[in-house]
Amino acid sequence: MSTTTTYSVVGMTCDHCVKAVTDELTSLAGVTAVDVSLADEGPSQVTVTSNGPLEESAVAAAVDEAGYELAST
């Protein structure tokens, strides 16, 4: 069953940011799609579709590896 989750990511401002985050997230096992909506101000929305639920810690680590961070919830 496919799972779609949207995360808020802090610090993304351009297409390079989108590519970096997308590349890291698509390297996670089970991720089938990543869609990023850049925000002019505040956190950007990153929607991840995967074959099943992902551990938030794994998503946070991938975003961190790209140089950004998940917004606090």
Phi, psi (degrees; rounded to nearest 5) at 44? -90, 155
CATH number at residue 27: 3.30.70.100
pLDDT in tens, 20-67: 999 999 999 999 999 999 998 899 999 999 999 999 999 999 999 999
Q: How many domains does the chain have?
A: 1
Predicted structure pTM score: 0.93
Q: What does 5-21 look like in DSSP terms, one character per residue? A: EEEEEES--SHHHHHHH
Query: Strand runs (DSSP E) across 18-66, as ranges?
Result: 31-37, 44-50
Residue 11 near residue 34, CB atoms below 8 Å: no
Task: Note down the domain range covering 28.
Answer: 3-70
